[in-house]
Structure 1
């Protein structure tokens, strides 16, 4: 169909014909993205749109719509960061990704979650690398610093070899908390089934202690009871005791949420849930980053006005720790 557009002197004529169509397409794309972000596969999204609107919407069509989010995604990943974060949680999950000329490969999706000095949560970044390593984390911490993050009180991570050294190289004044939940899980895998309940009770008395003296007393009791039977397990807890009990140096109101990476694990659990709906395999690396971005965006929106549990009571103490460790010139 050919349309004849009237010519007029001032050039102010605009047809109203396409405006409703444009709005309909924008609504359609927003709806498709909302379903994709919720973890629905591109094939299922296409089926739902076809059922509701008629016509055919292939998986590749939905993928092209989802590609439109990439500029927002990149802006999110490169946005400037605040100079101070009280706590930073680091963790990774493994995903299967189709790589051109290689086939399906398992890769590591790195995630960093920060707690501002006012107590609010921010997703600091996410990256996809071939594997998780302390070298990888060191490079990503340098990127965070380049984006403006200068001062951190405490990093919370799992027991990845070399991660403390990587942190200290970039943030020498920051403390390191080894995730107590990860440590408990890894310990129980090295203990006979019949002893697991007793070992867990003894270890729980360490990580649930109200102060350092109580924790060290429980650790000494654990060593006396289990050193002969599980010498390597006991030695590991003694070796890492400073990192496992670092949370005790911080306000009591915040200790439950800084002794483990559970805060970040909740976000990872949501990412894994959306992964399952895609048959646990992503067609491209960008597809992984899009899913993480959608989850990160929802996560930040959910907690935008909600301070971390316990932060209200501990805010003055946190500020005092910052001023002591990072005195302003």
Structure 2
């Protein structure tokens, strides 16, 4: 029998292939060499444990080399190893350590396949074929149904009566509707409760950002227990602000500053973004409305030649922005400091952009729910300087604030 060294020498001597398949293909030279090296390493491992090479074992010893061949999975592919495997080795070779798939990894795989429109039976076959994971179709079905049930409970849970600040944000996604790919708008309501902790109050799917959609969202929040919101920050057409006033007459509506900045940067190169963000901050962080107007004029003078639409957008919304400067600095910081909410928005946009189209609205909501559930795990601390802002709220909205 040839030694491993002789096998390697023969392989190298016989190699005369002119195409990539002969080198890196299923039966290419690299996989054959890897297979020989692994077999030698496993044989040496047995010798290290006290066994002579290919020595027979007596049945009385209770150790039989009756194992079958084992495919080893790695960056080198799946060369089939044929070591003299023993059924009851006390010390198993490190190369053959069983690494079961993590339940979390399996769940992620199931969800990823489910939102693409695959049935439980199709998911079962795919996992078995591609990952070697054996999960019954019944288990997959039960898991996907549990996600749907959890989403339904979350969307119907009761809410607190008062939220000092509520942000209305939108995410777009592609969904199949009667065989056609259409754009859906997902509305998210993120509230800051009296303790200063942020929470995603709900998530809704609609055809556009119209007034009817906004009215339905706010009405559902009222039905779930929200009787008052002090400030609502929403980005969108003027009719959204008017609709919010109709549903909650006493609410003060503000443009969602972070969303305005985000929309302004859509067509700005990465090279210019940092400088432009700094100039926009000078506008909405100005101490007074007069100073903000001066900063806006300076911004227009600097950027209108290359990006005229940005200053125009701010001027169109200027009357809606002005009330921001009537608040104290403590309240204004809370309103426009929304880094964690922007991080959530980016996470949701990433999962929608990674998929061409969702099979239906439900599967879109399920994936977004799992994403935001993971992204908001650390939302357990109050926003920065919340106590100072809450004190100002009690002065501005004294009769609407609860007495403790």
Deviations 1:210-235 (A, max 9, x none): 33342244346567889999998766
Cα offset, 1:77, TM superposition: 0.7
1:224–1:268 Cα change, 3 Å? closer
CA distance in 2, matches of 1:299, 1:220: 38
Match for 1:119 among 180, 193, 196? 196
Q: 1:216 & 1:324 partners in 2: Cα distance?
A: 33
Q: What residue number does 1:297 align with?
A: 373
DSSP 3-state at the match of 1:282: coil
CA contact (8 A) 1:179 1:260 kept: no
Map 1:72-83 to 2 at 5 A: 72-83=150-161
Larger mean CA deviation between 72-81 and 207-216 belongs to: 207-216
Partner of 1:165: 242
Give the aligned partner of residue 282 of structure 1.
358
Name stretches of at least 5 consecutive residues in structure 1 with no aligned partner: 1-27
Aligned 1:1-150 pairs, distance under 5 A: 31=104, 34-35=107-108, 40-42=112-114, 54-55=133-134, 62=140, 65-99=143-177, 101-150=178-227
**Stretch deviating more after TM superposition (291-300 or 168-177):** 291-300
**How big is the alpha-carbon RMSD for the aligned residues of Structure 1 and Structure 2?**
4.1
Contact 1:94/1:107 (CA < 8 Å) preserved in 2? yes
Q: 1:45, 1:248 → 2: CA distance? A: 55
Report the Cα distance in structure 2 between the residues aligned to 1:49 and 1:257, rounded to whole angstroms: 50
Give the superposition deviation at 1:63.
5.8
Are the counterparts in 1 of residues 283 and 292 from structure 2 also a CA contact under 8 Å?
Answer: yes
**Which secondary structure does the structure 2 equivalent of 1:281 belong to?**
coil
Unpaired runs of at least 5, structure 2 = 1-100
Contact between 1:206 and 1:218, CA under 8 Å: does it hold in 2? yes
Change beyond 3 A, Cα 1:287–1:239: closer
Native 8 Å contact 1:108 1:130 kept in 2? yes
The structural deviation recorded for 1:201 is 6.3
SS at match of 2:377: helix
Do the aligned partners of 1:212 and 1:245 also contact (CA within 8 Å) in 2? yes
Question: Is the Cα–Cα contact under 8 Å of residues 187 and 205 in structure 2 kept in the other structure?
Answer: yes
Q: Using the alignment, how far apart are the partners of 1:230 and 1:298 within structure 2?
A: 37
8 Å CA contact retained: 1:35, 1:45:
no
Work out the number of aligned pairs and report it. 296
* Contact 2:163–2:193 (8 Å) recurs in 1: yes
Give the direction of change, closer, same or farther, for the CA distance of 1:256–1:316 in structure 2 (3 Å limit): closer
**CA distance in structure 2 between the aligned counterparts of 1:230 and 1:70, rounded to whole angstroms:** 45
The 1:143–1:56 alpha-carbon spacing in structure 2 relative to 1, beyond 3 Å, is closer
Asked if the contact 1:29/1:65 (under 8 Å) is kept, the reply is no
Ranked by relative contact order (alpha carbons within 8 Å, sequence separation 6 or more), the top structure is: 1
Q: How far 1:264 moved relative to its partner?
A: 3.2
8 Å contact from structure 1 (residues 173, 325) kept in 2? no
* Kept in 2: contact 1:93–1:110 (CA 8 A): yes
Deviations 1:227-254 (A, max 9, x none): 9999987665345224224333344245
Q: Describe the superposition over 1:101-141 as per-residue Cα deviations: whole angstroms up to 9, x where unpaired.
A: 34332211111111102211111111111222122111211
Is the contact between residue 96 and residue 105 of structure 1 (CA under 8 Å) also seen in structure 2?
yes
TM-score, structure 2 normalization: 0.60
- Higher Cα Rg, which structure: 2
Q: 1:62 to 1:103 in 2, by over 3 A?
A: farther
Aligned mates of 1:31, 1:186 — CA distance in 2: 35
Q: What TM-score do you get using the length of structure 1 for normalisation?
A: 0.72
User: CA shift at 1:323, angstroms?
Assistant: 1.6
- State the Cα distance separating 1:325 from its structure 2 match: 5.3
